[in-house]
Amino acid sequence: MSLKVYNTLARKKEEFIPREKERVSMYVCGPTVYNYIHIGNARCYVAFDVIYRYLQYRGYGVTYVRNLTDVDDKIINRAKEEGLDTKEVAEKYIKAFHEDMENLGNKPPQIEPRATEHIDEMLEVIKCLIEKGFAYEIDGDVFFEVQRFNGYGELSGRTLEKMRAGERVDVDKRKRHPMDFALWKSSKPGEPNWDGPWGKGRPGWHIECSAMSSKYLGMGFDIHGGGHDLIFPHHENEIAQAEACAGKAPFVRYWLHNGFVNIRDEKMAKSLGNVILVREILKKYGSNVLRMFFVSTHYRSPINYTEENLDSAAAALERIENAIQNIDYLLNKSEEIAGTAMSGIEGFEEMIKGVEEKFAQAMDDDFNTASALGAIFDFIKEINLFLEESQKNLSEKSRYLLKEARDKLIKLMGVLGIKLGRKEVAKKLPGELLDLAKSIVGQAFEKEGTALGALVDAREKARREKDWTKADLVRKELGKLGFILKDTPRGCQVIYEEK
């Protein structure tokens, strides 16, 4: 089986062959730290987190670099608005960004370079571009001359003629071509600045990603990722800078871009007032649900944010959680049900073996998480059927298989960054359960698992008899020991958080 990825530059899926056999180098454009990140940013970072996890799952070592843009017009403007200096603004939103990443359940990249700590590297690239005739300086500003670079427009599929046709009247007349872009900007008074050969100034945005990715990953690294909106001009310009300076290609082997997030069928825009911040949405739904929402759609397709779609994601997630809880509950409750092997057990065993392969096949097809989830839900159906049978007949073998099924679910959902599964209930239950069961059920138990089952049964009995005081007492006392009882159409489920 080989992994195929859609390469924006080739405009097709290609077999993924990394530069080094067992190590993948990946760079993803990080945030400009002037604000809290919104759901569109979150989609990008989750998409590449899943790609990161899947590459690791597939056995690759991955060097993952994601930068922080901590010098930019937007930061300067925000500093004026908030009455802070630009460093304080950057620090504030870097901290917020890290919180959001953690709350989203994203693994941190290995290297997180900051633009302001790599000014020297950027100056080197700019000097190189001037020397080789790809850049020119005017009044302390340095521009990249797009007409000098042959491949300009290849990534986005735009030609320079078309770009010129779309020229706006407000183009800087000093530029040789309207699409020429700034590598170095002379600074206005009060703005952050560094000494350069062309006077005090600061780097342009595009140069920072070329300089930092090349520094940490070298030319010709494997994956460069980002949102679809970065293809032009940002990534187009990154290629031009890096390849023009290095005098060789490619800068990057595979360009991967994730699709947009629409908000209730509209484009998300400040002017429409529909920008949704990650921290707001996480308060309402939590990271598992948000990730479920994202991975239910292929990362390159647009996705539509609506409350209904988030609710469906929550319901889908609950189906998986329920299966796990039902397994836990049965394994825990039914220690005494000794059964013989039931019919159909081989089929279930095969299903457990096969689900991982189906999952991987889907992910190998350009990280098709939607189809990978399809394999998971087929598996859930089988688990539920098997659980129903096992209520009456639970052999040692079926206990073993149920545990396997549970572990498999947790493992595969973990590749999507969705954390499931509490501590295994069958092990290490608190000894206090024995006393509690004795006091409530009025009978001595030897095993904690049996005591827990008896307590849950006692509560169900009390509810049937409308003895709400007793039912509530059981729930409360179990709660003190770390058990949460959840009533579902399939009966009561026990969730245990070991203290």
- Residue pointed to by tokens 């000098």: 148
Residue 488 has phi, psi (to 5 degrees) of -135, 165
Q: Check residue 125 for interaction with Zn ion (CB under 5 A).
A: no
Eight-state DSSP code of residue 176? S
Residue 458 lies near Zn ion (rule: CB under 5 A): no
Could you say which DSSP state residue 277 is in?
B
SS3 57: helix
Owner of token pair 């545990």? 403
If binding is defined by CB under 5 A, does position 494 make contact with Zn ion? Answer: no
**Given the complex with Zn ion, which of 208 and 448 has the nearer CB atom?**
208
Query: How many residues form the binding site for Zn ion (CB under 5 A)?
Result: 2
Is residue 207 at the binding interface for Zn ion, with CB under 5 A as the rule?
Answer: no
| Closer residue to Zn ion (CB): 18 or 30 | 30
Segment contacting Zn ion by CB under 5 A, of 160-168, 207-215, 426-434, 450-458: 207-215
By CB under 5 A, tell whether 44 contacts Zn ion.
no
**Minimum Å distance from CB 72 to Zn ion?**
11
Read off φ and ψ for residue 416, nearest 5 degrees: -90, 0
- Asked if residue 234 lies in contact with residue 242, where contact means CB atoms within 8 angstroms, the answer is no
Determine if 29 is a binding residue for Zn ion (CB under 5 A): yes
Residue 68 near Zn ion by CB under 5 A:
no
Q: Which one of 15-23, 204-212, 268-276, 364-372 is the stretch in contact with Zn ion (CB under 5 A)?
A: 204-212
d(CA 299, CA 155): 19
In angstroms, what is the minimal distance from the CB of 25 to Zn ion? 15
Neighbour tally for 251: CB within 10 Å: 25
Q: Would you count residue 256 as binding Zn ion (CB under 5 A)? A: no
Rule CB under 5 A: choose which of 26, 42, 47, 209 binds Zn ion. Answer: 209
In this complex, which beta carbon is closest to Zn ion, that of residue 184 or of residue 359? 184
Residue 292 near Zn ion by CB under 5 A:
no
Which range touches Zn ion (CB under 5 A), out of 172-180, 208-216, 303-311, 356-364? 208-216
Q: What is the nearest approach in angstroms of Zn ion to the Cβ of residue 118? A: 12
Q: Tell the smallest beta-carbon distance from residue 478 to Zn ion (Å).
A: 51
In the DSSP assignment, the letter for residue 31 is -
**452 SS3 class:** helix
Query: Sheet of 194-196: strands edge to edge?
Result: 135-138, 141-144, 181-186, 199-203, 194-196
CB 463 within 8 A of CB 453: no
Q: Which residues bind Zn ion (CB under 5 A)?
A: 29, 209
